[in-house]
Amino acid sequence: MPFFLGLDTSTTATKAVLVDDAGRFVGEAATAHAAPASPVPFGSEQDPADWWRATRASIRDVLDETGVTGDDVAGVGLTGQMHGLVMLDEAGHVLRPALLWNDGRAYAECDTIREAVGGLDRLVELTGNDAFAGFTAPKLLWVRAHEPETFGKTARILLPKDYVRLCLTGEYAMDRAGGGGTLLLDLESRDWSGALLDALDLDPSLLPPTFEGTAVTGQVSAEAAEATGLKAGTPVVGGGGDQAAQGVGVGAVEPGTWAVTVGTSGVVFASSAEPRVAPGGKAHAFPHAVPGLWHVMGVMLAAGDSLAWHRDTVAPGVSFDDLTAEAADVPPGADGVAFLPYLSGERTPHADVHARGGFLGLRRPHGRGHLTRAVLEGVAFGLKDNFGLLVEAGVPAPERVRLSGGAAKSPLWSQILADVLDASLEVPAVGEAAALGAALLAGVGTGAWASAEAATSAAVRITKTTEPRDAAAYDEAYARFRRLYPALQGLWDPQA
């Protein structure tokens, strides 16, 4: 029986998932990464060598725990954190720590990009997106301006999962969904934009070839086979950026199915048969990991991270279950307490690296349960903002919404999300949806399934559904939330 391996190089860990050719989940393993470093204001960096260490460990662990041998693995799919900048010299050696998706130092370079291409409208026409500090291109320009010696030695750039691909296969390649998140890809042609590269004076040789998510991009090398336990020659497919692979892993591979993910960040994701672009590029428009599809998504930077920060700061050592139990005793609207989830700035809908988080509306009777409830609701309101962005992009209203990530494990948070979004939320059985999606793309690419639709039909199983109970209970609180960002914008020193 053939098995398919999905690898997810996330911010916190490398996860490995195995499925068989009937779509059955077989097992998973995870190996933690070192926490990102922040050597400069707004900075977020990791050492790519740590990803490869964690990849080797997770592959060996999942094979050992399931009893599957490397000979039985028929294909490998890759996914991982998007937008990260890995800079390599001619020999393929890493030149500096990778600048991650949540690195916001390149905000000034966003203006440089808009001006270089002839304005925002032209940038959106080419890429489907406005410039965001977290994208790869602004970070590349930042290194050119601030670390010219490193830039001068750079022969290739890759995304995090594509560095793992290089370690596995020796090949330079990038999937097109991930390529869209560099801000260097032409949205319609699904390949690098010569016009944009010319405008930014970037050599095309810096960029690897692009591939669809199901295309075979190389084979596991003998050296990587020795390090991981996989068989030399095992095909490795293009895969996808984490959100595109997550879309596959929850079954969002056809119009009508939306996905909501609450991990470190929060994402609202919808697929489309043609490019859909929000006015001003305020939502992200990228190719899907599925050939012939595109996707639109809104991204808030601190979703689950807001709850983690709250727990670590206000209630260190208290379990999330105990915190949310306290919040369950507080009525919708948190008795007037509001939380702005902009702890890392914000991406959509505000595109403001200087945005700040905070609690407002506090009175003496309020307690920890009110604060926790406000955090859960504030994240839900941020996701509702992004629902609106996708509608503005012309995406039809969802027929079904799939929920994954930490919020899917919390009955209270799931209910808050269902009510705030006024949508039924379906939870798939496999929690590591991005790694599952990568495994399914490997199965499609090596012929186990004829299409992504066939793969998700076999593999995606819904375990529970949360129905909205009282959407109107949040109307007043959401209206208040919507007024807070514009009222507070610009009050803080942007350099602090």
pLDDT in tens, 105-145: 999 999 999 999 999 999 999 999 999 999 999 999 999 99
Average pLDDT over residues 434-442: 97
What domain range is 204 assigned to? 3-243
Residue 37's CATH number: 3.30.420.40
Q: How many domains does the chain have?
A: 1
Residue 46: per-residue pLDDT: 98
Note whether residue 135 is domain-resident. Answer: yes
pLDDT score of 56 more than 60: yes
Average pLDDT over residues 8-21: 96
- Residue found under tokens 């032409």: 186
User: What percentage of the chain carries pLDDT values higher than 90?
Assistant: 92
Note whether residue 16 is domain-resident. Answer: yes
Q: Determine the distance from the C-alpha atom of residue 116 to the mean position of all C-alpha atoms in its chain, rounded to a whole number.
A: 28
Return the structure tokens found at 469.
Answer: 């109970």
Q: What are phi and psi of 98, to 5 degrees?
A: -70, 140
Q: For residue 242, indicate whether it is catalytic.
A: yes
Note whether residue 13 is domain-resident. Answer: yes
pLDDT score of 495 more than 70: no
Q: Is the dihedral of CA 12, 58, 269, 304 positive or negative?
A: negative
Would you call the peptide bond into 428 cis, given omega within 30 degrees of 0 as the criterion? no
Write the pLDDT tens digit of every residue in 171-185: 999 999 999 999 999
Alpha-carbon distance 434 to 240, whole Å? 9
Q: Name the amino acid, one letter, at 16.
A: A
Alpha-carbon distance 376 to 86, whole Å? 34
Write the pLDDT tens digit of every residue in 347-405: 899 988 889 999 999 999 999 999 999 999 999 999 999 999 999 899 988 989 999 98
Residue 492 confidence class, pLDDT cut points 50, 70, 90: confident
- According to the annotation, is 82 in a ligand binding site? yes
Note whether residue 8 is domain-resident. Answer: yes
Alpha-carbon distance 116 to 148, whole Å? 19
Write the pLDDT tens digit of every residue in 461-475: 999 999 999 999 999
Closest-CA residue to 413 (of 274, 303, 280, 300): 303
Residue 493 confidence class, pLDDT cut points 50, 70, 90: low
Q: What is the pTM of this model?
A: 0.92
Residue 430 confidence class, pLDDT cut points 50, 70, 90: confident
Average pLDDT over residues 181-194: 97
Give CA torsion, residues 420, 426, 427, 433, to 10 deg: -100
Contact 258, 269 (CB under 8 A): yes
Residue 263: per-residue pLDDT: 86
Strands (E), 371-468: 400-405, 425-428, 462-466
**Close Cβ partners of 67 (under 8 Å, ≥ 6 residues apart):** none
Burial 459-492 (b: 16+ CB within 10 A, else e): bbeeeeebebeeeeebeebbeebeebbeeeeeee
pLDDT score of 496 more than 80: no
Label residue 118 left, alpha or beta by phi (over 0 means left) and psi (-120 to 50 means alpha).
Answer: left
Neighbours of 32 (CB within 10 A): 12
Closest-CA residue to 295 (of 286, 303, 304): 286
pLDDT score of 494 more than 70: no
Closest-CA residue to 105 (of 200, 39, 191, 15): 39
Residue 491: per-residue pLDDT: 84
Residue 302 confidence class, pLDDT cut points 50, 70, 90: very high
Return the structure tokens found at 258.
Answer: 């939306």
Average pLDDT value for the chain = 95
Write the pLDDT tens digit of every residue in 21-55: 999 999 999 999 999 999 999 999 999 999 999 99
**Close Cβ partners of 446 (under 8 Å, ≥ 6 residues apart):** 2, 4, 74, 75, 216, 235, 237
Contact 176, 191 (CB under 8 A): yes
Contact 143, 87 (CB under 8 A): yes
Average pLDDT over residues 100-108: 93
Average pLDDT over residues 315-320: 95
Q: Is the dihedral of CA 68, 447, 247, 301 positive or negative?
A: positive
Note whether residue 387 is domain-resident. Answer: no
Alpha-carbon distance 336 to 370, whole Å? 9
Beta strands at 13-20 and 73-80: parallel, antiparallel or unpaired: unpaired
* Helix 120-127 and helix 107-117, axial crossing angle in degrees, nearest 10: 90
Catalytic residue among 8, 103, 162, 242: 242
- According to the annotation, is 33 in a ligand binding site? no
Contact 82, 102 (CB under 8 A): no
pLDDT score of 99 more than 80: yes
Write the pLDDT tens digit of every residue in 219-257: 999 999 999 999 999 999 999 999 999 999 999 998 889
What's the CA angle centered on 276, arms 274 and 278, to 5 degrees? 175
Residue 264: per-residue pLDDT: 87
